[in-house]
């Protein structure tokens, strides 16, 4: 009897046939190869992360996890991307949880990073790193050194716990959104993505900007910096202007948040940070809604998204540069500056405990108005507390002189101080005279 051989079925292929649709619009790519790879990497990693389930609690392994992709000899987008590069994302699940707690929408985050050019480059600061700002001015990308990277991960787990504990309260620490390592060729670049403390310049321009450390030694803006349209002024410039920030009942909440955040930095031996303070003089063009992941106060005081009153000024503030550890290099700098300026000099390079307490004391005594009141000035669009305080100082300086020269001398002094500090434009003089004339007419009518 013939033996019948059963016909063996060939296994079906596991390769799936898919139909692709050709992309209509070309994805934006930065001219800088590192930033172009970062944009590609953020888009790729975020798409991968969307398939990972969320988890309510962070485990120890989540702080050590990473996602990595390597591309070699690719020619498809060689006009936009290097032919060989690597991207590594650190702690993707933890950072996703942080973005959610900060109210940062994933689609909006991708739009800010991937749909437009970054502005910026090498920073003029002492760290020598690079700082880039997204096209919509919402996200800041800062390059880190390996020492900064170590400092960050030494405190990252407790930083997350700090955010969870203060989720419904004020937070002035930087809001960290993601961390990447970009490798182009043989060069590695560590990139930290965080919120921009300042609002978009297109709809809420900053009229005065300060970087405050609580130190008075060598804390003046340079002539080159003052030549800018909106210079970043420092502690001594702030004191010379005789300014104060009035937040009404928000002041206690802001100071409590500052003390809480500074205590966190002291615990991790962080120093040399600053309070960045931007002041916007409110006008008819100021948007009614400030919907941003930043701390916003206005004179009269509340943390606001919707401006349901008529504030005179908006204050944008937050702590920046919060990764500098008090290491051997800083100890040597402390010894050198102490020998040069003296034991009691208010130098910036001091121990974290001393730095933090002095920082808080300076803000309490010299920056925030704790018991005064905000006095509105007219007209609001040009007369801010800067202008009024400078005018009062000028009037007092020239008070007691005889004749008509008193007013002209005062005006000359006022003009000279304002030009040095770039507080207003050169058109202020005519506007100020018109404002004074209107005020005199109103008094006569009354």
Q: Answer for the pair 390, 422: CB distance below 8 angstroms, yes or no.
A: no
Strands 232-233 and 187-195: unpaired
Place of tokens 């920056």: 367
How far, in Å, CA of 123 to CA of 143, rounded? 10
Picking from 379, 394, 375, 385, the residue whose alpha carbon sits closest to that of residue 439 is 379
CB atoms within 10 A of CB 47: 10
Angle at 331 between CA 325 and CA 334, to 5 degrees: 115
Helices (H), 1-134: 33-49, 92-101, 106-114
How far, in Å, CA of 282 to CA of 205, rounded? 10
Catalytic residue numbers, as ranges: 142, 272
Q: Which two tokens stand for residue 107?
A: 């689609």
How far, in Å, CA of 407 to CA of 389, rounded? 16
Q: Answer for the pair 106, 54: CB distance below 8 angstroms, yes or no.
A: no
Place of tokens 């009518």: 445
Q: Which two tokens stand for residue 108?
A: 């909006």
Radius of gyration of the chain (CA): 27
Strands 208-212 and 232-233: parallel
Whole-Å CA distances, 77 to 40, 62, 73, 153, 224: 11, 33, 11, 34, 41
Q: Is the dihedral of CA 342, 347, 349, 353 positive or negative?
A: positive
Picking from 353, 346, 347, 175, the residue whose alpha carbon sits closest to that of residue 263 is 353
How far, in Å, CA of 209 to CA of 404, rounded? 36
Tally of CA atoms within 13 A in the half-sphere of 63 that contains its CB = 14
Measured in degrees and rounded to the nearest 5, phi and psi for residue 406 equal -60, -50
Q: Answer for the pair 140, 195: CB distance below 8 angstroms, yes or no.
A: yes
Q: Which two tokens stand for residue 209?
A: 């900007």
How far, in Å, CA of 78 to CA of 33, rounded? 11
């Amino acid at each position: 009897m013939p033996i019948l051989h059963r016909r063996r079925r060939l296994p079906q292929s596991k390769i799936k046939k898919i139909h692709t649709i050709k992309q209509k619009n070309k994805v934006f790519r930065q001219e800088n190869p590192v930033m172009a790879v970062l944009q590609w990497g953020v888009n790729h990693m975020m798409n991968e992360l969307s398939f990972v389930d969320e988890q309510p609690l962070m485990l120890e392994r989540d702080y050590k996890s990473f996602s990595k992709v390597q591309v070699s000899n690719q020619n498809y987008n060689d006009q936009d991307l290097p032919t060989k590069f690597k991207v590594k994302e650190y702690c993707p699940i933890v950072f996703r949880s942080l973005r959610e707690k900060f109210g940062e929408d994933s689609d909006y985050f991708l739009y800010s990073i991937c749909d437009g050019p970054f502005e910026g480059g090498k920073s003029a600061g002492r760290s020598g790193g690079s700082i880039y700002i997204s096209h919509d001015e919402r996200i800041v990308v800062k390059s880190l050194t390996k020492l900064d990277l170590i400092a960050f991960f030494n405190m990252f787990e407790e930083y997350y716990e700090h955010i969870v504990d203060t989720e419904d309260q004020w937070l002035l620490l930087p809001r960290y959104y993601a961390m990447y390592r970009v490798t182009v060729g043989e060069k590695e670049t560590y990139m930290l993505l965080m919120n921009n403390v300042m609002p978009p310049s297109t709809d809420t321009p900053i009229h005065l900007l300060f970087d405050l450390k609580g130190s008075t030694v060598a804390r003046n803006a340079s002539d080159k910096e003052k030549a800018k349209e909106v210079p970043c002024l420092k502690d001594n410039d702030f004191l010379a202007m005789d300014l104060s920030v009035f937040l009404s009942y928000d002041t206690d909440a802001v100071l409590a948040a500052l003390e809480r955040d500074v205590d966190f930095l002291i615990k991790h031996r962080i120093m040399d940070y600053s309070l960045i303070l931007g002041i916007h003089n409110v006008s008819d063009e100021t948007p009614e809604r400030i919907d941003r992941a930043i701390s916003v106060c206005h004179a009269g005081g509340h943390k606001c998204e919707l401006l349901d009153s008529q504030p005179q000024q908006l204050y944008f503030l937050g702590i920046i540069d919060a990764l500098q550890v008090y290491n051997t290099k800083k100890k040597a700098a402390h010894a050198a500056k102490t020998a040069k300026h003296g034991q009691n000099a208010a130098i910036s390079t001091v121990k974290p405990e001393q730095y933090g307490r002095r920082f808080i004391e300076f803000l309490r005594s010299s920056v925030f108005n704790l018991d005064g009141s905000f006095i509105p000035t007219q007209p609001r669009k040009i007369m801010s507390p800067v202008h009024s305080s400078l005018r009062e100082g000028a009037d007092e300086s020239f008070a007691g002189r005889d004749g008509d020269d008193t007013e002209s001398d005062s005006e000359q002094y006022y003009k000279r101080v304002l030009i040095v500090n770039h507080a207003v434009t050169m058109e202020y003089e005519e506007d100020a005279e018109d404002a004074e004339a209107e005020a005199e007419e109103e008094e006569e009518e009354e």
